[in-house]
Amino acid sequence: MRNTFTIAGKELQGYFVQPVAYVVLTVFLLLGGWFFFAMLRQFDEMVQLIQMMGQSDQLKQMNLNSRVIDPLLHDLSIVLVIVMPALTMRVFAEEKRTGTYELLLTAPIRTGEIVAGKFIAAASFTLIMVALAWIFPLILIIFGDPEVGVMFAGYLGLALLALSFVAVGLFTSSLTQNQIVAAISSFGLLILLYVISWPAEAGGGIVSSVLTYLSLPTHFSTMTRGVIDTSDIVFFLSVIVLALFLTQRSVESARWR
């Protein structure tokens, strides 16, 4: 246990001294800000239009949550798909490249402790990132009257989604020495998990339900709409646990080859 936290602490410190993490953070928040601004402006224009046209009953349907936060969260999730692989690509690949992998594998620590420590560090950084994106709901709360509970559910979904991305990224990083390969594989896997439900519309029956279940947006959308369903939480946790398990196997396999 102690080893896990030793590694986590060192890794987390490492995030703050290299440029990659800051670039990821900046890109994420900047794009988030841009989308937020765009959505809000659009919302504002529509409200004004409706007021001008005098259709006050339509006004009631203009919901800050569904028109601003919901699309914002979906846009942010797309940004994450692109940006998270860049954050996680070096986690194992770099160690293999610089030779420090040898240090970790010859130290009296378990493989599971290495994987857990690295995940905790990456996850902590990611959660900080998501927490910083809470500035957008904060602005809405100050100037408007959105439903805080719904926003909280949406951000919880974003956090879980981001953690799944971290786990997948860690896995691909453990498979190779080459950071670019790790990043692109991670990106590819995440896109796959996004589009896996597309053929489902065509087919029917059990295949369709399975594919829809496996799709990340399915579960994410439920949460952005404000519903915290345990089945969605379980889904995300399962993705995380599976990816980390595979990562542990991958690192352990070095001892057996």
Partner 1 sequence: MIEVKNLTKAYGNFTAVKGISFKAERGQILGFLGPNGAGKTTTMRIITGFMPASDGTVEIDGLDIFTNSLEARRRIGYLPETPPLYSDMRVEAYLRFVAKLRGVKRSAIDSAVEHALEVCGLTNMAHRICGQLSKGYRQRVGLGQALIHNPPVLVLDEPTIGLDPRQIHEIRELIRGLAGERTIVLSTHILPEVSQICDKVVIINDGRIVLEEQIKEIPVGTSLEEVFLHAIAREGHVEGATPEETLEEVGAGHSGA
Q: Interface with partner 1 by CB under 8 A: which residues?
A: 2-3, 6-7, 10, 14, 17-18, 98-110, 254-257
Alpha-carbon dihedral angle through residues 119, 82, 215, 146, given to the nearest 10 degrees: 90
For residue 61, CA distances in Å to 67, 72, 103 come to 10, 18, 60
Residue 168 CB, nearest distance to partner 1 (Å)? 25
Sign of the dihedral defined by the CA atoms of residues 152, 22, 100, 255, in that order: positive
Cβ-based nearer residue to partner 1, 13 or 61: 13
Residue 116 CB, nearest distance to partner 1 (Å)? 14
Cβ-based nearer residue to partner 1, 91 or 240: 91
Residue 63 contacts residue 150 (beta carbons within 8 Å): no
Residue 167 CB, nearest distance to partner 1 (Å)? 23
Amino acid at residue number 48: Q
Closest-CA residue to 156 (of 238, 239, 73): 73
Residue 176 CB, nearest distance to partner 1 (Å)? 18
Nearest-angstrom CA–CA distance, 165 and 60 = 37
Cβ-based nearer residue to partner 1, 18 or 26: 18
Cβ-based nearer residue to partner 1, 70 or 95: 95
Cβ-based nearer residue to partner 1, 60 or 257: 257
Nearest-angstrom CA–CA distance, 166 and 139 = 28
Residue 251 CB, nearest distance to partner 1 (Å)? 12
Cβ neighbourhood burial of 187 (10 Å; 0-12, 13-18, 19+) = buried
Amino acid at residue number 49: L
Cβ-based nearer residue to partner 1, 7 or 223: 7
Residue 70 CB, nearest distance to partner 1 (Å)? 39
